[in-house]
Amino acid sequence: MGRILSLRNIIILMAVALTLLTSIQVYLLAGAYTGENERFEQSVKEALLNVRYKMERYHIEQQLNKRLDVNALQQDIINSLDSIQVDLNQQPFNDEKISSKKEFDGFNDNLKTYTSQVPDLTGENPVRLIERFDGNIQMLEQNPDQLKSIFKDLLFGYLSYSNRDLKVELIDTVLKEELLLRGINTEFEFGIYNSFNNSFRHADNTNSANFIYSDYQIPLYYIGLKNAIMLSVYFPNKTRYILLNIFFLLISTSLVILVIVGLFVYSIRIIYKQRQLSEMKNDLINNITHELKTPISIISLACQALNDEDMAKIEGIRNNYLNVIAQENKRLGSLVENILQSAVMEKGDLKLKFVPVNVHDTIQLALESFQMRLKSQNFSVEFKPNASTAFVDADETHFTNMIFNLIDNAIKYSKPGDPNPKIRIQTGIKEKMFVLQVEDEGIGIKKEDQKKIFEKLYRVSTGNVHNVKGYGLGLNYVKSIIEHHKGIIAVKSELGKGTRFTVSVPLHQS
C-alpha cells in the first residue's frame, strides 16, 4: 500500500510541476501576444492621426486655392520675368553693367532657370497641392489683410461645412503609406460614415458593423459640435498578423510544452511499467517457489516411503514411487530449463542449429510425453496432419520446446470442471509456409489481454482462481523462437469459448 501511495505522490508532484511549467510558458506567450497587440494598436492610432492631419492640410490647401487666383498669380510672375528678359535683350552692352556677352548669356540662363522653377500651381495631383501649402502661405504673408479674410472664411467653413469633397483614393494612399511606415503590412478595409445617423460616405465592404464598432477610428472633421465624419479602419486578418509576428516564440513555446508533456507521459509509463514488472517479478518468484516446493515435497515423501522396508518389498508400490520421483524430477528440470532459456533469450546469446525437422513426428512425440497428464484429466486430442510435407528448417531442441509449450498452454487453460476437455491440432501448407494450429475449448482470453500474452512475465488474470500454474515465460519464449525461425504467430480467442494459436514457419528448402 505504501508503494502505491508513493507512486501516486510522485505522479501528483510531476503533474503539479508540469502544470506550473506549462502555465509559465502560456503566460509568456500571452504576454508576447498582448505586447504585440498593444504595439499594433498604438501604430494604427498614430497612423490615423497622421492621416487626419494630412487630409486637413489638403482641405485647407484646396480652400486657399479657391480663394486665391493662383493661375493669375503664376502668370504675373512669369510675365514680369519675361519683361525683364526682354528689356535686357534690347539694351546695348555696357562694360560697366555687363562686361561681355558671355556674362549676359550666363545671366540669361540663370533667369531661365529661375523662371522654370516657378511651381506649377495648376496641377490636379492632391499630394503636390499638400506639398505646396507652405509655399502658398509664404506668398500670402505679402498680403496680411487677404490672409486674415481667407482664414475667417476657412474657420467658418470648418465648423459648418457638411459636404466636404472627400478624396477616397487619397485617403487610401495616405493610410497605406502611414501603416507601412510603422511596419504594418496586412490587409485592411476602411469606411467613412456620419456618427449621428451611421450613414456611410464610403465603405470597402457591405458589413457596416465592422466599421461602426471598430477599435480603430477617428473623426476626420466635425459637423456642428457633436456630429462627426468618422474614418474607421478594420483589419480582417489582425489576429493572424499578430501571431505571425510572434511566430518564432509561438513555435518554440509550443515545442517546449509538447516536450514537457511528452517527457511527463513517458516518465509515467516507465514508472508504471517498472511497477508492473516488479509485481510480475514477485509473482514469478512466488510461483517458482511454489513449483519448486511441490515436487521437492513429493520426491521427499516418495523417498521416505521407499526407505520403509515393508513397502519397498512390494514391487508395484515401489515402481509407482519411482515413477513419481522420475516425473517430479522431470518437472523440476523443465522449470529450470524454462528459466535458463528466458535468460538466454534476453541476453541475445541464443545460438540455433538449423536442421530439417519433421513437425508431424515432433507433435506425436509431444503428445506421447503428455499422455499421462492428458489421460488423468480425461482430455480428448484430435490431430489432423493435413500438410503434404512436414519438414521445416529448425533447431530441433527449441522447436520441440515451442510445440511442448503450446500444448501445455492448451492443457493448463482448459475449463475447470469440464468432464471432457478437447484439444485440436492440425497442420497445413499456405504460400510456402508450414502452418500449425493448436486449438482448445478452454476459458479463452480477453481482447485486452491478447496483445500482452507474449510479453515476458505476463500472465492472464483468472480473477480469484489460482488453479493455473505458470511463470509468464512460456508464450514469450514461443514467440521469440518462432521469430528466430523467421515465422509468425497469431492468436484468436473468445472468452469462455477457447483459444487458437496459429504458427507459420518457412518450409524446408531442399
| Cβ count near 230 (within 10 Å) | 21
| H-helix or E-strand spanning residue 380 | strand 380-385
Q: Which of 30-65 are b and which e, b meaning 16 or more Cβ less than 10 Å from the residue's Cβ?
A: eebbeebeeebeebbeebbebbbebbeebbbbebbb
Domains of the chain: 2-239 (no CATH), 350-506 (3.30.565.10)
Write the DSSP string, 39-78.
HHHHHHHHHHHHHHHHHHHHHHHHHHHHHTTHHHHHHHHH
CA distance 500 to 508: 24
| H-helix or E-strand spanning residue 438 | strand 433-440
Can you list the positions of beta strands (E) in 123-275?
A: 189-194, 200-203, 216-223, 227-234
Q: For CA atoms 65, 71, 77, 80, give the dihedral sign.
A: negative
pLDDT at position 50, please? 92
What residues contact residue 413 under an 8 Å CB cut-off, 6+ apart?
440, 442, 443, 460, 468, 499
Cell of 424: 485440436
Relative to beta strand 200-203, strand 354-358 is unpaired
Nearest residue to 477 (alpha-carbon basis) of 421, 414, 397: 397
| Cβ count near 226 (within 10 Å) | 8
CA distance 409 to 444: 11
The separation between CA 250 and the C-alpha centre of its own chain, rounded to angstroms, equals 13
Farthest-apart Cα atoms in the chain, separation: 171
DSSP-based three-state secondary structure for 267: helix
What residues contact residue 474 under an 8 Å CB cut-off, 6+ apart?
338, 405, 408, 409
pLDDT at position 91, please? 47
In Å, what is the CA distance from 184 to each residue of 40, 44, 172, 246, 384?
Answer: 8, 8, 14, 14, 81
CA distance 285 to 439: 30
What residues contact residue 297 under an 8 Å CB cut-off, 6+ apart?
none
CA distance 184 to 43: 8
Cell of 33: 501576444
| H-helix or E-strand spanning residue 136 | helix 133-140
Query: Could you give the angle at the alpha carbon of 269 between the alpha carbons of 264 and 271, nearest 5°?
Result: 95
CA distance 257 to 269: 18
CA distance 248 to 258: 15
Cell of 237: 486578418
> Are 391 and 507 spatial neighbours (Cβ–Cβ below 8 Å)?
yes
Q: Global pTM?
A: 0.44
Nearest residue to 414 (alpha-carbon basis) of 456, 359, 377, 386: 377
pLDDT at position 151, please? 59
| pLDDT less than 50: residues of the chain | 1-2, 4, 84-134, 158-161, 463-468, 471
> Are 166 and 175 spatial neighbours (Cβ–Cβ below 8 Å)?
no
Relative to beta strand 216-223, strand 227-234 is antiparallel
- What's at 340, amino acid-wise? L
